[in-house]
DNA sequence: CCGCGGGGTGGGATCGATCCCACCACGGAT
DNA sequence: ATCCGTGGTGGGATCGATCCCACCCCGCGG
């Protein structure tokens, strides 16, 4: 058997070098472009690599370069929200596209419990991924801080109070203001809100935007509107019930999510209020659900795919930065989608 | 500076060995349990590893063992369905959990275009992942065949006609039969169907189940029911429209997906048919959407999380199998969820 | 008393790409 | 003619874990 062509084995850099009649070092330089190589030799090496179908072995490269060529997308299992709407798949798709064009692998991590969270931190600290994308909306979650402390490039979805943290968020307050201004513009006199959880920045910012819009229009915000709830439909139903009991004259509702709005619509229907004639309703998110409600929901759309894209670009920037890069933050615009409900 | 304790560097196996006063080989054997080690020495090594916080370097291990300790979940970008419903996140969550307990990483791949598909095949053939989980519903998709040919352990979601392919599917035909029997049982005399795409096994099987149930109950299936459509709401609306025009006396509709049912409900409402009094409607999937429709949708639920779990277990079985393992297939049960529509 | 087997051990070789240094040849400058 | 510098080149060393072989010691049987 010939000593040169060992079949059934992936071609290695040495194989390429031998086939091209040059040394390993030269072949490596030609392929990576990291040093001087004469044009003739470069061509020969590139052709040999092509012929043999050479592809560098990731593990070997990682071992030597101390670079993983991969990024982890981290989604704590406690983020139920993320799993029940279309937010996550859309972000994922955008992240995947961006990473693929940069030639990086996407590792998905859904840590369960403290043990796995710690494991993840060590994994990150040991640089087995080049960076992290983190989806964690709850303010109390210790994970963002822990990962930040690990010193790995890190970007979160949603603004973070932690100093040194890079993040990408949508303009929740601005979107809420737009929604309320829209309701006022169509003639509503008493605009209430069904707020989301206040330990998530999205929930808090949407509530703040509602209040600001009312104040600057000269209205007095109604204060008690079930702020402690979550983003679910059930909470929307119950909150709407309480609101109707307390302010029977309400004629506009800004809901901090589409699911809340779905619940509100149901309660309004049960109460015999016509939407949008008696009460106008605006939601937030523009999930697929919104267009299937009766009537179709007017809502504030957030550019979900763009969140993923911007997060990835920001992270790649941090990774490529030579020294300890400074934190970046991006705020993406939202806009109102008018349908039948308000 | 002491030559032993180099700070700021991850501890390596050599460090552990030195710290325990033994050779590298012994330390390795003690930690992996792959050879004879005296109990005393084993204890010393384990304690040293613990003290130093030793964790083996994945890249080095991969390089040597020719094992990636990771599995890829592949979702062709053409699978729009997957991204617009809650199917994907739920599968993902289950897969992640199963893999984590087995100590494997999850790599997510969403190949765009032919170039990336080929790249993925090479990636798999070169064994840079230990196995693949594939979500690809379209019969014409060449990717399953290509990956199967790569000789890597592979499991698909949904049954596959390819010989040698392992898969996990739900009982689509059985679920459809149950739905139709339910409609007949509540008194429907003319049960039509809005079928899904026939180039997906799920679409074809649900149609087949509908036909079987009608035949075995002595009814004659209505043949032309817009079989060429997709799973979308728009198609549901249009198909329902055509069905009403052709069979004005229809009193039961089996829809091959919840989205189709959403469209059907809208058309029925517009046509002045009451649901479920005039026409009973049953969907398939039991997405979150189903309970927010008016009326809430009676539908066939599929155990989505279980699909992910079974796929992962099957794959791990294939990976651990010594030789070329034979193909496995799993069919999971479905069941009817009764709500307001039928 | 010597040889032999096996539990236990240490360290060389290996995986494949990359870093780095030594070296060679050639053109221009002194 | 001699010397230097630079574009080009080859291959040793390295990353860290694992495989494998040689070796050492002990107890036992011949």
Protein-to-nucleotide distance from the CA of B54 to the C1' of D24, whole angstroms: 30
Q: Is B62 on the interface with A (CB under 8 A)?
A: yes
- Total-model pTM: 0.90
Report the DSSP beta bridge partners of residue A330.
A168
The answer to whether the Cβ–Cβ distance between A107 and B105 falls below 8 Å is: yes
Domain spanning B13-65 has what CATH number?
1.10.260.40
Domains A13-65 and A172-301 share a fold: no
By the 10 Å C-beta count (0-12 exposed, 13-18 middle, 19+ buried), A60 is classed as middle
The answer to whether the Cβ–Cβ distance between B108 and A96 falls below 8 Å is: yes
Residue B131 CA to residue B154 CA, distance in Å, equals 6
- Which whole-number Å values give the CA distances from A315 to A166, A308, A319, in the listed order? 8, 11, 6
By the 10 Å C-beta count (0-12 exposed, 13-18 middle, 19+ buried), B187 is classed as exposed
Report pLDDT digits (tens) over A294-341: 899 999 999 999 999 999 999 999 998 877 778 999 999 999 999 999
Report pLDDT digits (tens) over A1-21: 333 444 467 899 999 999 999
Report pLDDT digits (tens) over B48-89: 999 999 999 999 999 999 999 999 999 988 776 555 667 888
Residue A254 CA to residue B299 CA, distance in Å, equals 31
Closest C-alpha among B108, B340, B106, B137 to residue A100: B108
Nearest to A100 among B82, B116, B126 (CB): B116
Looking at every residue in chain A, the average pLDDT score rounds to 90
Supply the Cα-derived Rg of chain A in whole angstroms.
27
More confident residue, B225 or B138: B138
Phi, psi angle pair for B337, to nearest 5° = -110, 115
The whole-number pLDDT of residue A3 equals 36
Q: Write the DSSP assignment of A140-157 as a string of letters.
A: T-SHHHHHHHTT--EEEE
Closest C-alpha among B301, B306, B304 to residue B335: B301
Q: Is B97 on the interface with A (CB under 8 A)?
A: yes
Confidence bin at A238 (pLDDT 50/70/90) = very high
Residue A150 CA to residue A119 CA, distance in Å, equals 12
- Which whole-number Å values give the CA distances from A337 to A75, A177, A236, B188, in the listed order? 29, 14, 20, 40
Task: Confirm if A291 and A258 have CB atoms less than 8 A apart.
Answer: no
- Mean pLDDT for B43-48 is 96
Residue B174 CA to residue B198 CA, distance in Å, equals 17
Q: Which residue of B has its CA nearest to A295?
A: B294
Using a 7 A cutoff on CB, list residues near strand D.
A 21-26, 28-29, 35-38, 40-41, 60, 63-64; B 9-10, 12-14, 24-25, 28-29, 31-32, 34-35, 54-57, 60-61, 63-65
Greatest extent of chain B over all pairs of C-alpha atoms, in Å: 92
Q: Which residue of B has its CA nearest to A70?
A: B107
Q: Is A264 on the interface with B (CB under 8 A)?
A: no
Q: Is B102 on the interface with A (CB under 8 A)?
A: no
In this structure, the number of other CB atoms found within 10 A of the CB of residue B52 comes to: 17
Domain spanning A70-170+305-332 has what CATH number?
3.40.50.2300
The whole-number pLDDT of residue B237 equals 94
Phi, psi angle pair for B289, to nearest 5° = -45, -35
Long-range contacts of A48-52 (CB under 8 A, 24+ apart): A48/A16, A48/A19, A48/A20, A49/A16, A51/A19, A52/A11, A52/A15, A52/A16, A52/A19
The answer to whether the Cβ–Cβ distance between A105 and B106 falls below 8 Å is: no
Q: Is B43 on the interface with A (CB under 8 A)?
A: no
Confidence bin at A147 (pLDDT 50/70/90) = very high
A195-199, A253-257, B84-88: which has the minimum mean pLDDT?
A: B84-88
Spell out the domain ranges in chain B.
13-65, 70-170+305-332, 172-301
Matching CATH number, A172-301, of 3.40.50.300, 3.40.50.10490, 3.40.50.720, 3.40.50.2300: 3.40.50.2300
In this structure, the number of other CB atoms found within 10 A of the CB of residue B3 comes to: 6
A83-92, A272-281, B153-162, B295-304: which has the minimum mean pLDDT?
A: A83-92
Confidence bin at B5 (pLDDT 50/70/90) = very low
The whole-number pLDDT of residue B221 equals 81
The whole-number pLDDT of residue A77 equals 80
Structure tokens at A239: 């909150």
Is 50 exceeded by the pLDDT of residue A271? yes
- Which whole-number Å values give the CA distances from A184 to A240, A252, A256, A285, B66, in the listed order? 19, 8, 17, 20, 65
- Mean pLDDT for B305-331 is 91
């Amino acid at each position: 058997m010939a000593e040169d062509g060992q079949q059934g084995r992936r071609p290695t850099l040495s194989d390429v070098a031998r086939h091209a009649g040059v040394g390993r070092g030269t072949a490596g330089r030609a392929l990576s472009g990291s040093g001087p190589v004469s044009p003739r030799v470069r061509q020969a090496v590139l052709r040999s690599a092509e012929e043999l179908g050479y592809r560098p072995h990731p593990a070997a490269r990682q071992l030597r370069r101390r670079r993983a060529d991969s990024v982890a997308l981290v989604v704590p299992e406690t983020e139920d929200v993320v799993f029940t709407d279309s937010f996550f798949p859309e972000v994922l798709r955008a992240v995947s596209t961006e990473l693929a064009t940069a030639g990086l692998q996407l590792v998905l991590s859904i840590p369960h419990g403290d043990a796995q969270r710690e494991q993840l931190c060590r994994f990150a600290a040991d640089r087995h991924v080049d960076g992290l994308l983190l989806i964690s909306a709850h303010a109390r979650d210790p994970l963002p801080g822990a990962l930040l402390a690990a010193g790995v490039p890190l970007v979160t979805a949603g603004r973070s109070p932690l100093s040194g943290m890079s993040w990408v968020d949508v303009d929740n307050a601005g979107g809420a203001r737009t929604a309320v201004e829209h309701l006022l513009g169509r003639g509503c006199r008493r605009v209430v809100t069904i707020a989301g959880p206040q330990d998530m920045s999205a929930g808090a910012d949407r509530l703040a935007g509602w209040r600001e819009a009312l104040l600057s229009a000269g209205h007095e915000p109604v204060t008690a509107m079930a702020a402690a709830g979550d983003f679910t439909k059930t909470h929307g139903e119950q909150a709407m019930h309480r609101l109707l009991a307390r302010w029977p004259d309400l004629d506009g509702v800004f809901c901090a999510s589409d699911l809340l709005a779905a619940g509100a619509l149901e309660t309004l229907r049960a109460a015999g209020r016509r939407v949008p004639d008696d009460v106008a309703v605006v939601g937030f998110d523009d999930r697929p659900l919104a267009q299937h409600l009766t009537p179709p929901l007017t809502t504030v759309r957030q550019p979900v795919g763009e969140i993923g894209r911007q997060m990835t670009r920001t992270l790649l920037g941090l990774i490529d930065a030579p020294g300890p890069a400074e934190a970046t933050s991006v705020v993406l615009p939202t806009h109102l989608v008018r349908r039948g409900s308000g």
